[in-house]
Amino acid sequence: MIEKLNTLETGLRGIPVGYCPTSYVDPEKGLFYGEYPIREVAFWEPEEVLYLLIHGERGSQTEVKEFSAQLKKEEVLSKESIRAIEGLPKQGDPMKLFSAALLLLGTLEGKGDYRADCIALIAKIPHLTAILINHHGGFGRTPSPDKNLSYMDNFVHMLRIPNTDSERLRKILTLYNILHYDHGGGNLSTFVGKAVASGLEDLFGSIAAAMSALAGPRHGKANQESLHFVKQAFDACKGDGNEENIEAFLREKIFNKELIFGFGHAVLRVEDPRATVQYELAEKLYPDHPLVKIALLLRKVGPRVLKENPKISNPYPNVDAISGTLLTAAGFTQNVYYTPLFGLSRSCGIAIQIVYERCYAREGRGTPIVRPKYIYKPYKR
C-alpha cells in the first residue's frame, strides 16, 4: 500500500513532521519570526531578533539588555580554540573549515548541555566566523572582540576584508544576518541539524553537520551561484543592460537547459520578502552600481519569462537573488565567504530549534530519533 504513496523520492516536500516554535514560512506572505513578518524585524537590532527567536515573543528593553550582556560574557573564543582554527589548512571551500571549526569549538569548549551550548554558540559564532574568514582568505590576524560593540558591529570590526565601504557594509551585513537566522523547521540544514541531534549528538556536532548541509549549491551556496549568474547577465549585455537584453539572456539559458539562479523556492509562491528588503536597500545605497542595475532588471524580467513555463510553480526571486550583488557593491567581493556568512546566521536558528526538540518537545521528553521508512527496491540491471 505504502508503495503507492506519492511521497517517495520527493525530498519529503510539504510533509509535516513536527512543530517549530521559532518561525514559519507562508507560501503567499513569506517568512515570519514568531508572529512578526520578516519585513518588520529586518531593521531591529540582532540581539532583539535573537531574543524573539529564543522566547517566541519580543523582549522588553531590560530583557534584551540582559540577554545582550549574557552574549557579551561568552563572545570570546579561548586561545586554544583560536589556535586550533588558525591551524586548519587554507585550501578548498571555506565551508569545510566552518564545519571543522565548529567541531573544534565543541571539543574544546562545549559543555554537553543543549541550552548552555546554544547560548555559547550564538555568542561565539561571530568571533569564530571572523577568525575563519580572515585565516582562510589571508586577511591577517583577527582582532579580539570589542566589549563595547554590539553583536554584528563586533563582527564587522573583527572582519578584515580589505577595501570595503565599511559603514554601508555594516548595515548590509547586519540586515543579511537577521534575514538568514531561520526559515521554518524544514529547510535542509535545519532539518539535518535536528536529525543529527535526535541521535543525542551534542549541539556543536549537530550544527557542524547542519553546516555541511548548508554548503551545497542547492541550499546555502546558491548565494554565490546567484552572484555569478548576475555577472553572466552583465557580460551578456555588453554594457547595455536593458529589458530586451536580459530577456534574451534568460531565454538562451532556458533554451540550453541551464539553471536560472536566484529564482524559485520549495515553499514560497511570491517574491521572497527577504529579497524584497534587500532590493530596497540596494536601490537606496547603490542605485548606479552596474551589477545592482542588472539584478533589478532580472527581478523585473525574470518572473515574466519564467511564468511561460507551467511547470515552474514559483517564478519569483528568492533571498539569494540580490544578496551577493549587494555585498559586492559594498566592496565585499570575495564570494566564497557568502555561504559562511549564511552559516554565521543560520547556525543560531538551528541551535534554537535543536534546544526546542531536545528539551521542550513532547512535554520535555524530546523528539525520538529520526528514523523514516525506506522501501526495498532492487537495482535495475
Q: Is 320 one of the annotated active-site residues of the chain?
A: yes
State the nearest-atom distance from the C-beta of 13 to ligand MLT, in Å: 10
Q: Is 228 one of the annotated active-site residues of the chain?
A: no
Contacting residues for 22 by C-beta, under 8 A, at least 6 apart: 33, 34, 53, 56, 182, 185, 349, 352, 353, 356
341 touching ligand MLT, by CB under 6 A: no
Burial class (CB in 10 A: 0-12, 13-18, 19+), 101: buried
Site for ligand MLT in 271-330 (CB under 6 A): 319
Count of positions on this chain that bind ligand MLT (CB under 6 A): 5
State the nearest-atom distance from the C-beta of 187 to ligand MLT, in Å: 3
358 touching ligand MLT, by CB under 6 A: no
State the nearest-atom distance from the C-beta of 220 to ligand MLT, in Å: 8
Q: Which residue lies nearer to ligand MLT by CB, 149 or 266? A: 266
Exactly one of 180, 182, 219, 272 is catalytic; which is it? 219
Among 187, 206, 314, 353, binds ligand MLT (CB under 6 A): 187
266 touching ligand MLT, by CB under 6 A: yes
Contacting residues for 245 by C-beta, under 8 A, at least 6 apart: 236, 237
Contacting residues for 348 by C-beta, under 8 A, at least 6 apart: 50, 53, 121, 122, 125, 181, 182
Q: Which residue has the closest beta carbon to ligand MLT?
A: 187
Site for ligand MLT in 86-105 (CB under 6 A): none
What distances in angstroms separate CA 242 from CA 285, 294, 296, 303, one per listed residue? 21, 8, 10, 16
Exactly one of 265, 272, 288, 289 is catalytic; which is it? 265
Q: Is 265 one of the annotated active-site residues of the chain?
A: yes
Q: Which residue lies nearer to ligand MLT by CB, 175 or 246? A: 175
Q: Are 193 and 114 in contact (CB under 8 A)?
A: no
Q: Which long-range contacts (CB under 8 A, 24 or more apart) does 45-49 make?
A: 45/150, 45/151, 46/150, 46/151, 46/152, 46/174, 46/177, 46/178, 47/71, 47/150, 47/151, 49/178, 49/181
Among 135, 183, 253, 299, binds ligand MLT (CB under 6 A): 183
Compose the 32-71 pattern: x for residues touching ligand MLT by CB under 6 A, - for all others: ----------------------------------------
Q: Are 249 and 9 in contact (CB under 8 A)?
A: no
Exactly one of 117, 182, 272, 320 is catalytic; which is it? 320
Q: State the angle between helix axes of 166-179 and 151-158 in degrees (0 to 180), rounded to the nearest 10.
A: 130
Q: Which residue lies nearer to ligand MLT by CB, 81 or 177? A: 177
State the nearest-atom distance from the C-beta of 319 to ligand MLT, in Å: 6
Three-class secondary structure of residue 292 per DSSP: helix
Residues annotated catalytic, as ranges: 219, 265, 320
Residues at the site binding ligand MLT, with contacts judged by CB under 6 A? 183, 187, 265-266, 319
